[in-house]
A and B are shown apart, each in its own frame.
Chain A
Amino acid sequence: MIQIQNVSRWYGQVIGVNDVTAEIGPGLTAMLGMNGAGKSTLMRLITGQLLPTTGSVKVFGMEPFANPEVFKRVGYCPEIDNFYEHYTGREFVHFLGRLSGLTNAEAKSRTEEVLVEVGMADRAHKKIAGYSKGMRQRIKLAQAMIAQPDIILLDEPLNGLDPVGRRELMDVLGKLSNEGKTIIVSSHILFEVEQMTRSILLMHRGRLLARGDLRDIRALIDRHPHKVRVETNNPRRLASELANLTNIVSMNFERGDRGLALQVQEPDAFYTALMDIALTTDIEIGGFFSPDNNLESVFNYLVHS
């Protein structure tokens, strides 16, 4: 459906996308990368807002730039948070439905359908200017879905959504993906992407660094020692409990005995063991987090491995 062939895009002296080649077919694909990785530029190239400096982008075999034939089958949810603020959500979605080629009656009925799908049916009569970030995200999603396109591109769609909203959106995307649509979602949060799909395009500094199954990337991460910080009232006792675990590589006590910094292998097994300790002993675990469990560390692993 989407063929990207040796595409580069320069903004003056700055490169946005650097020699990217990829094919994207039906199903949910996540475009994963830190801010400035080139995700939005690639989306704009696919949605025909930008022209590639070199290489070619084809959508359904056609060049997308200023091509209405392509836009008939593509829905786009941009990252920007800009709207016609004086419109109500319903008016906004209806207008874009009309622009998508629906008749007035079709646009009205589809507007109601998509507003229900994104959970905005009861709030769409209010002016967009008064919407929260989450409501705005939902309206953007609704306008992308209104003409039932074969391809939907969503640029950071989970930004600003509360946990319930995220779950609902993921369900909607999963349903569309199961219907055979091509869904491309960009995100810079690995955790978000893991919950949606395993098919990823990993972008870094304009380049397509890796593509394929997220589990492969995870396995690569898990082979490397993983940093974990645990907050506890009794780090020395916790250390003695953890010392028996074979996947602990190192332990350091933080100044003031407020926490424990660890390096572990097989982090999933470690987290399970930590839960057991919390449940079976009187050691208070205030919290734990992994500074490694972010995209930057994935890139570090990939670049250095």
Chain B
Amino acid sequence: MESAIFTQALREFLRLRRVVPWVLFSLICGALAFIWPKFQPDVTHQGQYVNVIAIFVFRMVALASAILTTAIVSQEVEQKTIVYLLTRPVKRSSIILFRYLASVIVMGGISIFGLLCTSFGAHLGFSNELLTKDILAVVLGSAAYGAFFLFISLILNRSMLVCLLYAFAWESAIPNLPGDLYYLSINSYIQGIAQHPASEDANRTVTVAGGMKSTALLSSTTSIAVLILLSVTLVVISMVWFTKFEFVPREDAE
């Protein structure tokens, strides 16, 4: 039964209309990395890669998660297909867990594709020494964003707007604010895992746009631990929440 949930969710999340925009976005990231020297002639290949990753690819992780994660439950509720899942002999917690895992795999896959496109666009290819840590960063980032947005989508109606606001506004602003506020941004921990070398070429605008201010402030180990802990905690809370409360399409419940 669980495998059926997982497979169906994977199939759902891998539908062309869901995936194609992110594939295109990844290709654009690769193209941006490729043409970056046109705007900053003295930049190194690594600088090209780091700048595009920080500004675009890590943002894509948040954005893709916000959109994809709402499909786990809230889109099923809005489309009223949730009834087919809730009246089957499957634990509600399993529905959440396996659909969440499927979404993380898809988000992780999309993000890794984005990294590879950028790496190739920056002429680094597979020999890019930052790639391994970046892959870990985007996979754990996908898991953390996914868990966070999943929980938001369970407790709020029309959660997409809140999730998108978080992905765009919060994640762009918070890492750059003074003091310890960067602790409240998932992007800070992603940067903490990636530990990109401070780009000598990067100007202040690029640093702020990429939210890279906190990169040196969080260790890789701490960042990994925080993202794993955050993901596990929020998924467990979501599983309990989904088991305890009603999820009936809104107009049907009026």
Contacts and interface: CB of A to CB of B under 8 A. Distances in A.
Interface of A: 11-12, 14, 40, 44, 47-51, 66, 68-69, 71-72, 74, 76, 78, 80, 82-84, 86, 95-96, 98-101, 143
B180 interface: no
Contact of B89 (A14, A44, A47, A101): A101
B1 A80 contact: no
A40 B243 CA distance: 22
B89 A48 contact: no
9 contacts: A11-B253, A44-B248, A68-B91, A69-B89, A80-B249, A82-B79, A95-B8, A98-B1, A99-B89
A95 B85 CA distance: 10
Interface string B1-28: 1011100100010010000000000000
Contact of B243 (A66, A76, A96): A66
Nearest to A44: B248
A143 B89 contact: no
Interface of B: 1, 3-5, 8, 12, 15, 79-81, 83-92, 243-244, 246, 248-249, 252-254
Given A80-B83, A82-B81, A100-B89, A49 B248 contact: yes
A74 B87 CA distance: 8
A80 B80 contact: yes
Contacts of A11: 253-254
B88 A80 contact: no
A82 to B, nearest CB: 4
Nearest to B84: A96
Given A14-B254, A99-B5, A101-B89, A76 B246 contact: no
Given A49-B248, A50-B246, A95-B4, A84 B81 contact: yes
A98 to B, nearest CB: 4
A111 B162 CA distance: 41
Nearest to B79: A82
A69 B79 CA distance: 26
A48 B79 CA distance: 19
- Determine which residue in B80, B85, B244 has the highest number of CB atoms from chain A within 10 A of its CB, and name it: B80
A51 B246 contact: yes
Given A66-B92, A98-B4, A99-B89, 9 more contacts: A49-B87, A50-B248, A51-B246, A68-B88, A68-B90, A96-B84, A99-B4, A99-B5, A99-B88
Nearest to B15: A86
A11 B126 CA distance: 57
Q: 3 smallest A-B Cβ distances: which pairs?
A: A98-B4, A82-B80, A68-B89
Nearest to A83: B81
Contacts of A68: 88-91
B88 A96 contact: yes
Nearest to B248: A49
Nearest to B83: A78
Contacts of B85: 99
B87 A47 contact: yes
A72 B89 CA distance: 5
Contacts of A98: 1, 3-4
A6 to B, nearest CB: 20
A99 B1 contact: yes
Contacts of B248: 44, 49-50
A292 to B, nearest CB: 31
B83 A71 contact: no
A66 B87 CA distance: 8
B133 to A, nearest CB: 38
A50 B246 CA distance: 6
B88 A100 contact: yes
A95 B87 CA distance: 13
Nearest to A140: B84
Contacts of A86: 15
Contacts of B3: 98
A47 B254 CA distance: 18
Contacts of B88: 68, 71, 96, 99-100
Contacts of A96: 84, 88
Most buried by B among A47, A74, A83, A84: A84
A48 B90 CA distance: 13
A82 B80 CA distance: 6
Contacts of A74: 87
Contacts of A101: 1, 89
B90 A99 contact: yes
Nearest to A86: B15
A289 to B, nearest CB: 33
A96 B91 CA distance: 14
Nearest to B242: A66
Nearest to B95: A99
A71 B1 contact: no
B8 A71 contact: no
A51 to B, nearest CB: 6
Nearest to B78: A82
